[in-house]
Amino acid sequence: MPKSKKSANPINLNDPQYYLNRELSWLEFNHRVLHEACDSRTPLLERLKFLAIFSSNLDEFFMVRIAALKQQVEAKVTQLTPDGRTPQQQLDDIRLNLSPQVVKQHQHFEQVLRPLLAKERIHILDYINLNQKQRTYLDNYFEEQIFPVLTPLAVDPSHPFPYISNLSLNLAVVVKNPDTEEEFFARVKVPSVLPRFLPLPPELGIQENGQPANWTGVPLEQAIAHNLNALFPGMNIQEYHPFRITRDADLALEEDEADDLLLAIEQELRKRRIGGSPVRIEIQSQTPEPIRTRLLQDLDLTDSDVYQVDGLLGLRDLMYFMALPLAELKDPPRQSVVPPRLQRLREPHIDEDVLEMEEGKDFFAVIREKDLFVHHPYQSFSATVVRFITHAAHDPNVLAIKMTLYRTSGDSPIVNALIAAAENGKQVSVLVELKARFDEENNIYWARRLERVGVHVVYGLVGLKTHCKTVMVVRREKDRMRRYVHIGTGNYNPKTARLYTDLGLFSCREELGADITDLFNFLTGYSRQKSYRELLVAPVNMRDRFLSLIQREITNVQKGFTGRIVAKMNSLVDPQIIATLYEASRAGVQIDLIIRGICCLRPGLKDISENIRIISIIGRFLEHSRIYYFYNNSQEEIYIGSADWMRRNLDRRVEVITPIKDQDIAKDLQEILGIMLADNRQAWELQADGSYIQRRPEDDCPEANSQISFMNMALRSTGGTPNLLDSQKGLSYTE
């Protein structure tokens, strides 16, 4: 039976000891990313990719989270986080936890991955180890291709310290005048417009058994460093040292004071290109103290902002090597499939501006039969979501298309379909979220392009980000209008849809169509909609609805029934949700959480969270989907959508969660949850102290070894009856 604790003394569930720190939890997540780079089971080039992702994640963490904490310290903010830390305490603890990770990253690259790459005939050489022919080639390449791009900048009383752009790699150079023996300091920027790694021609690369290597080359900054005489003729090069700067890159937008949101964001983007205050400097550990001190003084940084590394800086550039045509060093290619119900559709095509339809069933007829569920990237995004919007754009019976766009690709076929729809005379309305972080410029471009062809473009709501993923198509059918909707968990981006696991629901149910209509009226007009028929919509009713769903499980347990919650999301941060989950655990509700990233809930605490288990899955695909399951005394309810259990999602964003009414789809979603709960290859179990332990196939993991579904596992100890899969059908990851 589940453990239910009723203490004689009331417990304050808001006590800081029951919460993990958000920033430290994120560092744990990124450490799990780093583990993929260190895991020998991961293909070699994929390990480089994860090393690059680790670095890229850290860059954004410093540009946004560290920058915000430093601003709070400067503003003397004293407000504590739910776990009881001040901003300065968080900065101190972040550095304490992060420094060993950075050391581990660079040591692993230099001592493990570089030798392994060499065994696979991928040679990242140091310039000093090149032979004369190789040096001659690179010196000529420098003169022809690199030298014209470089601009050495002197630093002296008449030349102030130059502006160092965000994420730029630079050389701090000391030169001496041979006549006066006077030394001067200069900065040379390593141009980002050139490849970070310079390949040698095959005939000059390392030869093995008469065969050229797969790749031989050197880092760009080393080719520049060994040709500095060309930049400072007549001077003696004394020393040079690479360094890299990270700046505050978050937008400081006062929406309430902006007359034109588009113009305001464009102005902020120009400021971002210039960059905010420096928040981090990366230097090599052998950089002498005078150079280090000079850089810190000129950049107004302190010792706590310095991260010393042994080896190359800016390892996010290792993503370069994923372009090498070496399939044997990458994950096996995965071909997305077309859902069976969509495999024999008739397709619209244009012939001299006249729409003709091939024989067969159209996309809308498939949805009319019953709701359609899609799971990306296993099922093709292009053959489902893009096809749906393209089909609607060319169908003469479609009168209107309404859509939210948070992020999309640079060559988006979805935007092209929307443009075609407008040109075909359809009413097209698109909410383009201009405040999607680091995609603002791309979204401004698409918004303007859509406006030029007559699409009604809305730029989002003041004070709220529109993060929901929704499309509605209005179609005339005989004597009625029918609304077709798609509600997803991920962005309408064909590129990331191949890399992220996400879910989508197509439906033409009346209640759902009416809710989506009300939602778009809320987004584009002055609607003050306070209730929805089926949808959970933030910031309107989602928080209260989730709390009531959790409370219902508590009530059922108190009545002597089974209580069960399974939830999958990216992050769990919201204190109110966490406190309510603690209440559920104390009542005896069995709770399994699959939290990919940040998790501020402490599982396994005596009398608090003994009935809560939490795993994180890090692997080939970014687990991005959100699924929420509630047992509801055997009348199960399951939901999917765009929102995590975070304050920002529940209170400061427009989000949509939809219930799943189709029982077959509900079972598919339960099986997805079951597979993840049984994962013994890439799942990590969160401990009460905030650390994670990775499951392995050889470990004693009954849930995985028995290959049982999550409902079997859920109800085995509560006396319920499994209703999804028998043990022969369940799945788990194995070697």
* Per-residue model confidence as pLDDT tens digits over 242-256: 999 999 886 554 444
Q: What are the structure tokens assigned to 446, written together?
A: 């698409």
HEC string for 315-349: HHHHHHHHHCCCHHHCCCCCCCECCHHHCCECCEE
As a whole number of angstroms, the distance between CA 701 and CA 684 comes to 12
Mean pLDDT of 3-11: 58
pLDDT reported for residue 704 = 43
The yes-or-no verdict on residue 240 having pLDDT over 60 is yes
624 is catalytic: no
Confidence band, pLDDT 50/70/90 cuts, at residue 720: very low
* Per-residue model confidence as pLDDT tens digits over 404-463: 987 766 678 998 999 999 999 999 998 887 655 555 666 677 777 888 888 888 877 777
As a whole number of angstroms, the distance between CA 370 and CA 245 comes to 54
CA 443 to chain centre: 17
The yes-or-no verdict on residue 359 having pLDDT over 50 is no
Instruction: Kindly report the pTM of this predicted structure.
Output: 0.89
- Among 34-48, 214-228, 281-295, 450-464, the minimum mean pLDDT is found in 450-464
CB atoms within 10 A of CB 260: 10
With left for phi above 0 and alpha for psi between -120 and 50, is residue 311 left, alpha or beta?
A: left
Q: What are the structure tokens assigned to 418, written together?
A: 């929307």
Q: What are the structure tokens assigned to 337, written together?
A: 């499939």
Q: What is the DSSP code (8-state) at residue 621?
A: S
Q: Are 710 and 732 in contact (CB under 8 A)?
A: no
pLDDT reported for residue 723 = 34
Which of 123, 467, 486, 624 is catalytic? The answer is 467
- CA gyration radius for the chain? 28
pLDDT above 90 covers a percentage of the chain that reads 71
pLDDT reported for residue 465 = 85
Our CA angle for 497, 619, 662, nearest 5°, is: 55
Mean pLDDT of 61-69: 93
pLDDT reported for residue 59 = 95
Cα distances from 678 to residues 153, 283, 664, 732, in angstroms, run 58, 43, 21, 5
pLDDT reported for residue 721 = 32
The mean pLDDT value of the chain amounts to 87
As a whole number of angstroms, the distance between CA 292 and CA 283 comes to 8
Nearest C-alpha neighbor of 340 from the set 384, 387, 394: 384
Confidence band, pLDDT 50/70/90 cuts, at residue 731: very low
Mean pLDDT of 172-190: 93
Q: Are 489 and 502 in contact (CB under 8 A)?
A: yes
**Residue 385: what residue type?**
V
Confidence band, pLDDT 50/70/90 cuts, at residue 562: very high
Q: Are 589 and 611 in contact (CB under 8 A)?
A: yes
Confidence band, pLDDT 50/70/90 cuts, at residue 154: confident
pLDDT above 70 covers a percentage of the chain that reads 86
- Among 223-227, 490-494, 505-509, the minimum mean pLDDT is found in 490-494
Collapsing DSSP states into helix, strand and coil, what is residue 213? coil
* Per-residue model confidence as pLDDT tens digits over 30-49: 999 999 999 999 999 999 99
pLDDT reported for residue 701 = 52
Q: What's phi and psi for 210, nearest 5 deg?
A: 80, 0
The yes-or-no verdict on residue 328 having pLDDT over 50 is yes
Burial class (CB in 10 A: 0-12, 13-18, 19+), 109: buried
pLDDT reported for residue 453 = 85
pLDDT reported for residue 212 = 87
Mean pLDDT of 687-695: 95
Higher pLDDT, 714 or 2: 2
Q: How much of the chain is helix, strand and coil, in % rounded to 5?
A: 40, 25, 40
